[in-house]
Amino acid sequence: MEFSYAFKRASRVDDRVDQTAMSFTPDANREPTYFSGELGKAVAFREAISALHDIVVSDLRFKPKDKTAYKEWVAKQELVDMVELAGQRAGNARRIQELTTKLADANRRRAARMAPFYKARQNYFDWLYTSDRDAWIVLDPVITVHPDEVFFECFSIDESTYGRLGASLDVFQNVGAFACGTTNIDYSTPLYEEFQKIRSYKTTRFEVDPSGFEVKTTGEETFEEKKIDLPDSWVRGFLQVSSAMTLPTRSFVLHPMDIHNLCFVLRRKKEKVGPRALRWVLVPGEPVKAIFEPWNLEIVCSRSIYTGKEREEIRVWGRRRLLVLERLVAIAKSFTVHLLGQGLPSFYVADLGHMSFTLGLSGWTRNDWSTSGNFDLLAPRVETDDFTKRRVFEGLKETWFSDVDALAKKLDLPRPAVLGALGAWTQAGRAMFDLNKGVYRVRELAKDPLPMDKLRFSNEREEKANRFLAANAVTVATRQAGARTILSGTVKDGRHAYTPELQIDADGRLAEATCTCNFFQQNKLYKGPCEHMLAVRLFEGAPRFARVVASTREESSIARGPYR
């Protein structure tokens, strides 16, 4: 997927004895987004933005050793051995020597002919890695300016780790004029290295450069045009993270020293065999425990008491990615951990005072965000008409962020309608859920609508679910269990009949589910719900939601007149 960027100049840091000025150059192709202010907590910001950089350059995928040189040596050695063996035969020795000489000459000529190319290619990659690593890494962060905070978002190279740094306006002093919006910024490795020079005794000026939008016809040649072919998985990963953050989680708060102890174990010990899980033991009223496998090393978080209602043990993988939090221990007040479930993604939110840092980890390192769990399928599955979607998005953009209840009251819409619309905008890349504050925010990943034919979350399981509905092969029984709705269904699939059971929470999200089909028995919910679960959700949810919206719109039109 190709994105076009235009930067008037490179982002830069002007470091002097008494002050440091950081200027991020935004994408001039997008709506004007700018901000300026002095950092009141410069050192904390330095550590947080550096931790974000650790995510950008992170790649924990297995990399096999390059054995090219060894194989070349073995091939030459075999040739030498063959020559020596053949030399023992007087009749063939001369012929083999001639062929060996010719082969060596041919190899030398080829090496001499290709040497300039190899040298130029190596020099280019060396320069790219040291001087312009953002081009090497490709994936620049996204920055968003809102009335209450400025936040950065990024992905790791292996696309299994998501990072978000939110800086409240209270972090800044002497805030100048700013324009809300989302833009891509020119963010390079030299800029990161300059961040390390930030000190508390210096005045640090932070700005998203408004001059980047002084576009004049006579000055167009001063803009640096970049066309970056981003992988679809990068964009899809952002959408999946936003969906995953809206799901119900098991949450608890950890003291910073507990995170330090976890990182200490990861630094000290290196597993050579599996299992490699980190097992969280959550017992109501008792300290949280973390058990490292395969050693069964137990870390008791004595300062952190679990306040949940049920005892649970949840295993997560890809634990070495937690080392990103190591740099935040000294400046954090606490860490809130959100676990989606066994082998599912987890989120770690660091409270940095007027800043917050969110670390999102997929189920395990190789199971990246774009392919991990189809978390959009676990979100509220309600059909929302375009009219309602537009109303909700326009209402959200008036304030740039809002919680669901406030937005529903403001628009006089039922809560399920607002949730359904926000879920649709989230999956379209135009909104996101702020896990730290529990609000939805406007955040448009691209200036143009995303090609949903490439990124749409519908998959073959949804297609099968719709076929079941069209064939009248679904029956559903509904009952209430406290705040949750239990859906017990029967789905006829060929000669088999499967019996999924779903638990839907008050927000219409899939909290728990089981099914008798083979897909669920093998994958549980690691890859999202099966087609039988989706069929039950669509059967039960869509007609009821349509009735709610229709009746509400009729009442609203009588009370206020048509919406314009």
DSSP labels, 146-208: -SSEEEEEEE-TTS-EEEEEEEEGGGEES----B-EEEEB---HHHHHHHTT--TTSEEEEEE
Is 517 contained in some domain? yes
> 3-class SS at 467?
helix
CA distance 2 to 8: 20
In the chain, what percentage of residues exceed pLDDT 70?
Answer: 71
Half-sphere exposure of 161 (CA within 13 A, CB side): 28
Over 50: is that where the pLDDT of 537 sits? yes
Is 496 contained in some domain? yes
> Once rounded to an integer, what is the mean pLDDT over residues 528-541?
81
* Residue 108 pLDDT: 81
CA angle 334, 174, 40 (to 5 degrees): 30
Is 412 contained in some domain? yes
Give the strand order in the sheet containing 161-168.
181-184, 142-145, 149-155, 161-168, 355-361, 346-351, 334-339, 250-254
Find where tokens 């209270």 sit: 170
Domain count across the chain: 4
User: What type of residue sits at position 68?
Assistant: T
Residues 337 and 260 in one domain: yes
CA distance 12 to 192: 10
* Residue 327 pLDDT: 93
Domain that holds residue 526: 460-560
Residues 342 and 285 in one domain: yes
Reference 531, options 545, 543, 515; nearest CA is 515
CA distance 391 to 185: 30
In this prediction, residue 13 has a pLDDT band, given cuts at 50, 70 and 90, of low
* Residue 392 pLDDT: 92
465 vs 21, residue with greater confidence: 465
In the chain, what percentage of residues exceed pLDDT 90?
Answer: 28
Residues 239 and 322 in one domain: yes
Residues 464 and 449 in one domain: no
Half-sphere exposure of 156 (CA within 13 A, CB side): 24
Over 70: is that where the pLDDT of 214 sits? no
542 vs 559, residue with greater confidence: 542
Sign (positive/negative) of CA torsion 133, 138, 141, 142?
positive
Query: Is the bond into 294 cis (omega within 30 degrees of 0)?
Result: yes
Is 45 contained in some domain? no
389 vs 7, residue with greater confidence: 389
Query: Which of 455, 474, 495 is at the close of a domain?
Result: 455
What's the alpha-carbon Rg for the chain, to the nearest Å?
A: 28
* Per-residue pLDDT tens digits for 119-177: 776 676 565 555 544 444 444 678 899 999 999 898 888 788 999 999 998 888 888 88
> Once rounded to an integer, what is the mean pLDDT over residues 455-467?
68
How many other CB atoms are found less than 10 A from the CB of residue 28?
20
Residues 496 and 405 in one domain: no
Is 154 contained in some domain? no
Is 36 contained in some domain? no
Residues 247 and 328 in one domain: yes
* Residue 85 pLDDT: 64
* Residue 267 pLDDT: 93
In this prediction, residue 211 has a pLDDT band, given cuts at 50, 70 and 90, of low
Is 152 contained in some domain? no
* Residue 110 pLDDT: 76
Over 60: is that where the pLDDT of 40 sits? yes
Contact present, 258 and 251 (Cβ < 8 Å)? no
Give the CATH number of the domain where residue 349 resides: 3.10.150.10
Query: Which of 93, 117, 133 is at the close of a domain?
Result: 133
In this prediction, residue 550 has a pLDDT band, given cuts at 50, 70 and 90, of very low
* Residue 442 pLDDT: 92
Is 490 contained in some domain? yes
Residues 254 and 334 in one domain: yes
What are the angstrom distances between the C-alpha of 101 and each of 85, 88, 97? 16, 18, 6
How many other CB atoms are found less than 10 A from the CB of residue 4?
13
Residues 446 and 549 in one domain: no
CA distance 241 to 370: 9
Query: Per mean pLDDT, which range of 33-37, 63-67, 99-103, 129-133 is the poorest?
Result: 129-133
* Residue 253 pLDDT: 96
* Residue 185 pLDDT: 67
Contact present, 246 and 260 (Cβ < 8 Å)? no
DSSP state of 27: P
Residues 367 and 401 in one domain: no
Residues 298 and 405 in one domain: no
Question: Rounded to the nearest 10 degrees, how much is the dihedral formed by the CA atoms of 502, 506, 509, 513?
Answer: -20
* Per-residue pLDDT tens digits for 44-58: 888 998 888 888 877
Residues 329 and 274 in one domain: yes
Burial class, 342, CB count within 10 angstroms (exposed 0-12 / middle 13-18 / buried 19+): middle
> Once rounded to an integer, what is the mean pLDDT over residues 98-116?
79
Residues 296 and 325 in one domain: yes
How many other CB atoms are found less than 10 A from the CB of residue 77?
10
309 vs 25, residue with greater confidence: 309
Give the CATH number of the domain where residue 398 resides: 1.10.10.10
User: What type of residue sits at position 199?
Assistant: R
Over 90: is that where the pLDDT of 77 sits? no
228 vs 122, residue with greater confidence: 122
* Per-residue pLDDT tens digits for 182-192: 887 665 666 67
Query: Per mean pLDDT, which range of 119-123, 294-298, 379-383, 484-488 is the poorest?
Result: 379-383
* Residue 88 pLDDT: 62
Over 60: is that where the pLDDT of 8 sits? no
Query: Which of 107, 133, 159 is at the close of a domain?
Result: 133
